Amino acid sequence: MTMKKRPFLIAFLLLGGLFVFFLLLALCVASLTGKPTNFPIGEKIAVVEVLGVITDSASAIEHLHNFRDNDSIKAIVLRVDSPGGGVGPSQEIHDEVRQVATVKPIVVSMGSAAASGGYYIAAPADLIVANPGTITGSIGVIMEFTNIQDLLEKIGLRSQVVKSGKHKDIGSPVRPMSVEDREILQSMIDDVHSQFIEAVAVGREMDPEVVRQLADGRIFTGRQAKELGLVDELGGLQEALRIAAEMGGIDGEPTVVYPPKEKPRLIDFLIEESLNRLHYALQQERTAGLQYIWQE
């Protein structure tokens, strides 16, 4: 009887050993890459970074969504170091932060700047931590147009436009902006500005009229923002991690994980490096369309 059971025992031990081996291998890979595993082993704090001008929301939303559904992640720190960016991407990240906050704690850590759209995405978090010297606020909307009509006339060029309606080329750089054009654009700006004010008022649980008084585009230091109720605590990333661990019910030093970094292809690296150098040379970035952005 014992002999008959022995092959099953050996098979069981082999399968158990293989399971433990692959489990340890997965944990080691996750530790080296910073990618959390799906195994609910250990209690972790996840950090999602939003750095630079906000032009796309896909990456931030994906990371927030993944960490939200990972049971080993007890809280999330959203590290924001951004002057803002496009209205659409900022609103999409804002909405994801708001959804995540209903599932697990999310704390914002502001870096050197979290202004305009950078503040917009922070507003719905459970708690906001900023450095005393962080540049934040800039609650407002901007849209810029450059008119080159005089330049074209000097070099003998003339634009010919065929359009379906008189406002189809609104904001065109080759004709003056009419009074009616300006009224239409101002109406858009005012509507999006109201959306910004409402988002801050709801996220920060503030009186909309109080927010409106602060929403004239001005910037604040982190310390000023705290006095005005736009920020909760003063401190850096480590303070935000400590608070997040406490809110997540973690005792002691938490394990901190980041999303895995994708290795760029050589062509992508060269393009990105070229664009960075161009941006540095121009000293200022101009982007078309509605912007939640602080113009440095």
The model's pLDDT over 3-37, given as tens digits with 9 standing for 90+, comes to 455 665 666 666 666 666 666 666 555 554 445 44
Is-catalytic flag, 5? no
Q: 201 near 211, Cβ under 8 Å?
A: yes
Task: Say what the pLDDT of residue 284 is.
Answer: 46
Domain 41-139+209-280+288-293 in CATH 3.90.226.10? The answer is yes
Separation CA 154–CA 26 (nearest Å): 66
pLDDT tens sequence across 97-138: 999 999 999 999 999 999 999 999 999 999 999 999 999 999
pTM of structure? 0.77
Torsion angle, alpha carbons of 55, 59, 64, 67, to 10: -160
CB-side neighbour CA atoms (13 Å) of 131: 14
Is-catalytic flag, 263? no
Task: Say what the pLDDT of residue 158 is.
Answer: 86
**Is the pLDDT reported for residue 295 higher than 70?**
no
Out of 31, 159, 163, 168, the active site residue is: 168
Out of 57, 90, 109, 116, the active site residue is: 116
